[in-house]
A and B are shown apart, each in its own frame.
Chain A
Amino acid sequence: MYIYDDFDETFVRERAAQFRDQVERRLSGALTEEQFRPLRLMNGVYLQLHAYMLRVAIPYGTLSSGQMRQLAMIARKYDKGYGHFTTRQNIQYNWPKLKDLPDILDDLADVGMHAIQTSGNCIRNVTSDQWAGVAADEVTDPRPYAELMRQWSSLHPEFSYLPRKFKIAITGAEQDRAAIAFHDIGIRVKRNETGEIGFDVYVGGGLGRTPMVAKKIGEFISVNDLLPYLIAILRAYNLEGRRDNKYKARIKILVHEKGAEAFKARVEEIFAGLDKDKLRAPQGELERIAKFFDNPAYETLEIEPASLREARADNKAFDAWVRRNVAAHKTDGYAIANISLKPVEGIPGDASAEQMELVAQMADDYSFGEIRVSHEQNLVLAHVKKSDLYTIWQALEANGLGTPNIGAITDMITCPGLDYCALATARSIPIAQKISHKFSSSERQSEIGDLKIKISGCINACGHHHAGHIGILGLDKKGEEYYQITLGGSGDENAAVGEILGPGFSADDVADAIDTLVERYIQLRSSEGETFLDVVKRVGLEPFKEALYADH
């Protein structure tokens, strides 16, 4: 993974010092709250329902064991012993005090971490495929480009006061695990017949009040042109994006109102005028970065070790975990071990300081000291020997981290909702817990197969409900929480926005409603291989509506 040099380290330390100065000016009254708010937001500090909240950047979801231990230390020292991994591959602390934040940033800087641009109307943390560099279906590793973009976007002088927040995601695989279609800019790395790398660039995707799937405007943009092309998009947006209405300020609205073709023409016009040579990454910089992402020292291993076969045969629980949580690695004898942060009736995405430390230890012992965070709020050990899987599983299992449900119905994306979030209209976590309880049997889960439920506590859609096969949106009706259900959304390479089924449900009835939908799916499917989403696509919403509302 990328390791800071002196330049990066000085930069992050100075940024921490700058924030300390800003906090001091705020506490002394030299800055008003109105002036301070955008400054703290640009450093990931929100004011939430009960306390301040700090969001720490985990660039493209990659961190070292040492960084994870520091995150655990911070959770203990300044917070309540836990953290929450987010759909942007970051971590949030729910209880820090403003007066402690400068110290926390110094502690983060000690391990090459920061909270730069994890909030605010600027370019946010660049996200990527959590299996980047190891996935069997990858064209090429997107992380060097992600790191290049991270650096380029950090404290960008021109793009720090955009009309609204701006999110970039990049994937290098066939299967889109980074939900690029729902980002302001989504980038797909491609390789042509001659082996050259280029980027397809999509703009104007997003969820929230007006969900939209991104449109492709750039076709095979060259590596050399990546930064100038991004600058052209951002400049068009910064100059022309709407600033009159917060809900219409994202780039998706500009692209929609202007039309994708016209927007593309504008970007190309700006691009043509740029002095590109001055804007590209400097000579050798990409190569310097790429070196950090060379393969670790893999050993030559048996493709299918007998020990793994035996352990699976002997232990049903382990076997279930391997089937659900372990994915194919590009190297023989290695596997990707996914660690679920969705225990039955737990809080999706939360991890205690002890759990963070355990995962750090597992990474040190078995996965080259590296950990990934997925946008589905789980953790990943990306390079483990198949022969170590059993040992790893035992340790995870003993610490509440062995839930075999990756991609299953209980692996829900859930935003913090009204339990934490000042903007929420309803709670999300208790709904996830009820659903998790209802489907807790792993036999039932494996019978159901792949099914993504995503829950948001308000229209802002941090829980990506529009992109859920089943989406749940919490609303407030005269002081009562109620929940709207959508079907047919998808965040992968066949991105789609879910459609509303009908009238909403009370908090007590949501889990039963989901149960009804699942039962109907089981009846409707033509074979076990036909997933929930396939069935929705084939039969439409009607049969599901009927199941839910017929006898009401």
Chain B
Amino acid sequence: MAKKLKGDQVFTGQLLREGDVVFMSTDGAWSKDLQSAVIGTSPEEVEALEALALKGVSENIVIDIYPFVVVKDEAGKIVPDHIREKIRIDGPSIVYEPSAQAAE
């Protein structure tokens, strides 16, 4: 995994039972809210976070963990810097649910 990404990083994964996208917050807890994620700001910190994330994997809580780069917007909110992660967090960029389509 030791892909050296440039920038601050957050660990993400998906819940084994549900498949939902989650982010790692303090003490290796997993939350659907990106804002509660712990940010690694140095290679050492990211490495420590990864060790914690892998614990979630070995405990069969999350699967497919990886880090991605985040930045803070003006309001201080954590946001991903790549479109893939944006879509992963916000959901499909299209109107996809039939009820939502009907309501259009």
Determine, out of B3-11, B16-24, B38-46, the stretch whose residues face the partner at the interface.
B16-24
Q: A26-B16, A29-B60, A81-B97 are in contact. List 11 more A-B contacts (CB 8 A).
A: A47-B63, A49-B21, A50-B21, A51-B14, A82-B97, A98-B18, A346-B101, A419-B92, A419-B93, A429-B92, A430-B93
Q: What residues of A have a CB within 8 angstroms of the CB of B96 in the complex?
A: 80, 82, 347, 350, 419
Q: What residues of A have a CB within 8 angstroms of the CB of B59 in the complex?
A: 29
**Beta-carbon contact of B97 and A80 below 8 Å:** yes
A217–B59 alpha-carbon span in the complex (Å)? 51
Main secondary structure of the interface of A (DSSP, over half): mixed
Interface size class of A (residues with CB under 8 A): 20 to 34
**Beta-carbon contact of A353 and B98 below 8 Å:** yes
**B94 touches A (CB below 8 Å):** yes
Q: How many residues of B contact A (CB 8 A)?
A: 27
**Beta-carbon contact of A81 and B98 below 8 Å:** yes
Other-chain residue from A49, A430, A480 in contact with B94 (beta carbon distance below 8 A): A430
Q: What residues of A have a CB within 8 angstroms of the CB of B94 in the complex?
A: 347, 419, 429-430, 433
Main secondary structure of the interface of B (DSSP, over half): loop
28 A–B contacts, CB within 8 A, in A order = A27-B60, A29-B59, A33-B57, A47-B14, A47-B19, A47-B64, A49-B21, A49-B87, A49-B88, A50-B92, A51-B14, A51-B19, A80-B98, A81-B98, A82-B96, A97-B17, A97-B19, A99-B18, A346-B101, A350-B96, A418-B87, A419-B93, A419-B96, A420-B92, A427-B93, A433-B94, A479-B81, A479-B82
**Closest Cβ neighbor of A420 among chain B residues:** B92
**Closest Cβ neighbor of A76 among chain B residues:** B98
Q: What residues of B have a CB within 8 angstroms of the CB of A27 in the complex?
A: 16-17, 60
**A531 touches B (CB below 8 Å):** no
Q: What residues of B have a CB within 8 angstroms of the CB of A33 in the complex?
A: 16, 57, 63-64
**Beta-carbon contact of B20 and A51 below 8 Å:** yes
**Beta-carbon contact of A52 and B19 below 8 Å:** yes
Could you give, for residues 75-116 of chain A, a 1 whenever the CB lies within 8 Å of some chain B CB and a 0 otherwise?
000001110000000000000111100000000000000000
Minimal beta-carbon separation of B88 from chain A (angstroms)? 5
**A352 touches B (CB below 8 Å):** yes
Could you give, for residues 224-241 of chain A, a 1 whenever the CB lies within 8 Å of some chain B CB and a 0 otherwise?
000000000000000000
A96–B14 alpha-carbon span in the complex (Å)? 13
Chain A residues close to B by CB (< 8 Å): 26-27, 29, 33, 47, 49-52, 80-82, 96-99, 346-347, 350, 352-354, 418-420, 424, 427, 429-430, 433, 479-481
**Closest Cβ neighbor of B86 among chain A residues:** A418
Q: What residues of A have a CB within 8 angstroms of the CB of B19 in the complex?
A: 47, 50-52, 96-98
Given A82-B96, A99-B17, is A50 in contact with B91 using a C-beta cutoff of 8 Å? yes
**Closest Cβ neighbor of B98 among chain A residues:** A352
Q: What residues of B have a CB within 8 angstroms of the CB of A98 in the complex?
A: 16-19
**Beta-carbon contact of B83 and A481 below 8 Å:** yes
Q: What residues of B have a CB within 8 angstroms of the CB of A97 in the complex?
A: 17-19
**Beta-carbon contact of B97 and A50 below 8 Å:** no
A477–B87 alpha-carbon span in the complex (Å)? 17
Q: What residues of B have a CB within 8 angstroms of the CB of A51 in the complex?
A: 14, 18-21
**Beta-carbon contact of A419 and B87 below 8 Å:** yes
Q: What residues of A have a CB within 8 angstroms of the CB of B81 in the complex?
A: 479
Minimal beta-carbon separation of B40 from chain A (angstroms)? 20
Q: What residues of A have a CB within 8 angstroms of the CB of B64 in the complex?
A: 33, 47
Minimal beta-carbon separation of B48 from chain A (angstroms)? 22
Given A418-B87, A420-B92, is A82 in contact with B17 using a C-beta cutoff of 8 Å? no
**Closest Cβ neighbor of A350 among chain B residues:** B96
Q: In the complex, which residues 65-102 of chain B have their Cβ closer than 8 Å to any Cβ of chain A?
A: 81-84, 87-88, 91-94, 96-99, 101
